[in-house]
Amino acid sequence: MRILLFSGKGGVGKTSLSAATGTRLAELGYRTLVMSVDPAHSLADVFDLDAGLFDAKTADPFQVADRLWIHEVNIQKEIKKNWQRIWSYISSLLHTSGLSEVEAEEMAIFPGMEELSALLYVNDWYKERRYDVIVLDCAPTGESLRFVAMPTTMKWYMQHIFPFERGFLKAVRPIANRVAPFELPPDSCFASVKDLFTRIEGIDELLEDPRVTSVRLVTNAEKMVVRETQRAFVYFSLHGLTVDQVLVNRVLPDNVEDAFFREWRRTQARFLKEIESYFAPVPMRCVPLFRHEVLGLERIREVAREMFPGKEDPAAVTRTERPYSFRKRNGVYEVRLQAPFAAKAEVGLFKKGEELVVEVGTVRRHIGLPNSMAGLSPGRARLEGGTLVVELQETI
């Protein structure tokens, strides 16, 4: 099975491109599910489903075409299915603190429930081999990063905190419940947490396997959007996921020659060059601005034809190597860059803002740095079996 994860700044057109990709995959014969992980769902809107039936139709996988299903995670349904004990305890606790019952029930839907519910589905369907490809239409960048980081975070919690917390509360609960102003969580809550973790176990390996999961970053040729896309690229790399394509949406077509759009064309041309040079060797694909709103299956198919001309397969594995990775070894931060044909004499390094700029011969790579490394400067560099390793150090 393949998992294609679409991420980007809010409003760039992730849902339309996710839907178009899913449509093309279904036409090629793949059993395809397009799944919205964004709490502000718009997947059913793109397919122009009857507004009065959105929740009823898409709370479970709903078939919109031959071999094509869509699914929007419905948090109220997920609470009843997976979170009832945990949610009931938290809402009753909040109600005890003075909130009204309705306020308490709303506040008990805490961040991460929706993302974790989506991970449960993806892991279950992978094991069942229900679909050939799952296309994930993710929330804006920040929430997407929380989505991919959640399995690792929960794994650490289950290994280091959960056993102690459960054992400690089991010992003190009978006494504490007599004197505390509220009841401590019952052991059934911990049993539910353990069951949830068991169901997502292994999803981190799926997300980090480039033969299974690929990230497609959606952007527009505008400064603020490009900057966020660059940061997303850094953090997906940091979390071990492979970005195999950058999709630049709403590019003005060549036949738009109206004077009103002249400055827009110049701006887009400048940022298209920047995108291409920054993300290389990850390929960039341009999707034109259409004359009309992308709404309904036929217009989604029109977008798919522009994205995938001929017999191109969106599920093909095109990249298995990450362009670069970050690590800390013996207290030293390192950036590791694939450079199989580089010679030591050809390598040049310098810092530009929060980016490390690496020059190998006539090729220049801009590498955005995570916050923990952004204040460091390049020090020693070495070649290790086709990998350029750059050590970063405090500025003296």
User: How far is the C-alpha of 125 from the C-alpha of 295, rounded, in Å?
Assistant: 28
Q: Residues 131, 278: one domain?
A: yes
Whole-number pLDDT of residue 189: 83
The DSSP call for residue 202 is T
Domain that holds residue 302: 1-320
User: How far is the C-alpha of 284 from the C-alpha of 251, rounded, in Å?
Assistant: 12
Q: Residues 330, 310: one domain?
A: no
Whole-number pLDDT of residue 158: 87
Whole-structure pTM value: 0.82
Who contacts 297 (Cβ-Cβ below 8 Å, separation ≥6)? 23, 47, 48, 64, 65
Q: Residues 310, 280: one domain?
A: yes
Whole-number pLDDT of residue 57: 63
DSSP 278-314: HHTTS-EEEEEPPSS---SHHHHHHHHHHHS-TT--T
User: How far is the C-alpha of 26 from the C-alpha of 301, rounded, in Å?
Assistant: 11
Whole-number pLDDT of residue 111: 67
Q: Residues 305, 353: one domain?
A: no
Q: Residues 278, 351: one domain?
A: no
Q: Residues 93, 204: one domain?
A: yes
Q: Residues 316, 328: one domain?
A: no
Whole-number pLDDT of residue 9: 94
Domain endpoint, select from 277, 305, 320: 320
Could you give the 3-state DSSP secondary structure of residue 8?
coil
Q: Residues 157, 301: one domain?
A: yes
Cis peptide before 281 (omega within 30 of 0): yes
Whole-number pLDDT of residue 396: 60
Q: Mean pLDDT of residues grouped by 10 in the chain (396 residues)?
A: 95 97 98 91 89 64 95 80 73 75 76 80 92 94 82 84 85 77 80 86 91 96 93 82 95 89 93 90 94 95 94 94 84 83 79 84 79 88 85 80
- The answer to whether 390 and 381 are in contact (CB under 8 A) is yes
Q: Residues 270, 190: one domain?
A: yes
Q: Where residue 284 sits, what CATH number does that domain have?
A: 3.40.50.300
Q: Residues 160, 31: one domain?
A: yes
Domain endpoint, select from 320, 352, 372: 320
Q: Residues 251, 368: one domain?
A: no
Q: Which two tokens stand for residue 51?
A: 């507004």
Q: Residues 17, 130: one domain?
A: yes
User: How far is the C-alpha of 198 from the C-alpha of 292, rounded, in Å?
Assistant: 46
Query: Which residues in the chain belong to E strands, given as ranges?
Result: 2-7, 32-36, 62-65, 68-72, 133-137, 213-219, 243-251, 284-288, 324-329, 332-338, 347-352, 355-360, 363-368, 377-384, 387-393
Based on the structure, what is the number of domains in the chain? 2
Q: Which two tokens stand for residue 85?
A: 């004990």
Q: Where residue 379 sits, what CATH number does that domain have?
A: 2.60.40.790
Domain endpoint, select from 320, 338, 358: 320
